[in-house]
Homo-oligomer: A and B are copies of this chain.
Amino acid sequence: MIERISTAYYRLPLEPSGDAGHGSLDTEELVTVELAAEGLVGHGYAYTIGRGGRAVRALIDHDLAPLLVGQEAGDVDALWERMWRGLLYVGRGGLAAFAIAALDIALWDLRGLREGKPLVALAGGTARPIPAYGSGVDLPKPLDGLLRQVEGFLARGYPGVKVKIGREDFEEDVERVAAVRRLVGDGIDLMIDANMGWSLGQALERGGRLAEQNPYWLEEPIIPEDVPGHARLARELPMPIAIGESLHSPREFERYIAERALGVLQIDPVTNGGITPTLRVLEMANQASLPTSSHYTDELSAHLLCASTNPIYLEKHAFALDRYLERPQVVTDGKVRPTDDPGTGLRFDREALRPYAAD
């Protein structure tokens, strides 16, 4: 039986960053959850890129924890449905998905501790190495800073790198992507990410021009509400369209898959509403033979992508939480593996986090 749920809130400084959709970024918010049941404690978290974290915490403390405390912890699917329905009026996506996710992750961790199995096994996957790519949030960086960041990714052995696009002057995007391609050569995969910054017309034209640099994928060219627009881009542009971090429920993924509006499905168990719905989404991707990747959540995604039949890449994110983890994720030969411990294997280093605790 779930006996106690506690949360903590941290404001983690970022080196000045930014992208075409979310503007300038200087703070990452982290809400951690501990969920105690029968002598074990499951750990979960949600993050934001600077706003909404206190609201996520308020949802957990005031609205979701009362729905869980006193319930049996074992049937995670049923508890996820209970949370989803409990927040139906203010939920069905958006911020509610982040709050439900933090608790759902803790419930899966707890289940792993109880069964003595790592998340990858609970998820029905087989632990194996997944290629990782280095991912920058680098739209405001001048070109030389961008190239230095990419050199850092190469030095760490990543077989792929991602850069942001969507600068006010598109010719700068062209120049920057070309410079990165010259730097990395043809043997490295180069992803580009517009963070919803373009109109459909712009995406058609600009995607066509950037295709000259042979990008591995084009991520979030336009707003996620425009599924038919994505379908058209998927048909008319030569590179695959990647999307996922901005979708908050299996229903939203279902529509993208049904309309063949994406070429790479990116999971993020925090923004997608938890591990429970992410596993449903991965099953849908398997059925549709869709390649999968991840967004943020490096540690959890190393487990979850092993439940995919075609996991092409894990994102090693510029905002990764490694410096705040007891055991940072290990990258070997540009690949990561899920942890072997029971549960998610994710434990925060509270000493490292302490300076950033806030109310």
**Cβ of A78 < 8 Å from any Cβ of B?**
no
Q: Which residues of B contact A196 (CB under 8 A)?
A: 88
Q: Which residues of A contact B (CB under 8 A)?
A: 21-23, 48-52, 54-59, 62-63, 85-99, 196, 223-226, 246, 248-249, 251-252, 255, 271
Question: From residue A225, how far is it (CB to closest CB) to chain B in Å?
Answer: 4
Q: Which residues of B contact A59 (CB under 8 A)?
A: 51-52, 54-55, 95
Q: Is the pair A51, B90 in contact by a Cβ cutoff of 8 Å?
A: yes
Q: Which residues of B contact A223 (CB under 8 A)?
A: 251
Q: Is the pair A93, B90 in contact by a Cβ cutoff of 8 Å?
A: no
Q: Which residues of B contact A52 (CB under 8 A)?
A: 59, 63, 87, 89-91, 96
Q: Which residues of B contact A23 (CB under 8 A)?
A: 85
- Indicate the member of A23, A92, A95, A271 with the most B CB atoms within 10 Å: A95
Question: From residue A106, how far is it (CB to closest CB) to chain B in Å?
Answer: 19
Q: Which residues of B contact A51 (CB under 8 A)?
A: 59, 62-63, 86-87, 89-90
Question: From residue A128, how far is it (CB to closest CB) to chain B in Å?
Answer: 31
Question: From residue A89, how far is it (CB to closest CB) to chain B in Å?
Answer: 5
Given the complex of chains A and B, what is the CA–CA distance between A175 and B225 in angstroms? 41
Question: From residue A48, how far is it (CB to closest CB) to chain B in Å?
Answer: 6
Considering only CB atoms, which chain B residue lies closest to A99 in the complex?
Answer: B55
Q: Which residues of B contact A246 (CB under 8 A)?
A: 92
Q: Is the pair B89, A92 in contact by a Cβ cutoff of 8 Å?
A: no
- 8 Å CB contact of A90 from B48, B62, B87: B48
Given the complex of chains A and B, what is the CA–CA distance between A246 and B303 in angstroms? 35
Interface CB pairs A-B, < 8 A, 29? A22-B88, A49-B89, A51-B86, A51-B90, A52-B87, A52-B89, A52-B90, A52-B91, A54-B58, A54-B62, A55-B55, A55-B56, A55-B62, A55-B90, A55-B99, A88-B196, A90-B94, A90-B95, A90-B98, A91-B94, A92-B93, A92-B225, A92-B246, A93-B94, A94-B96, A223-B251, A225-B252, A225-B255, A226-B251
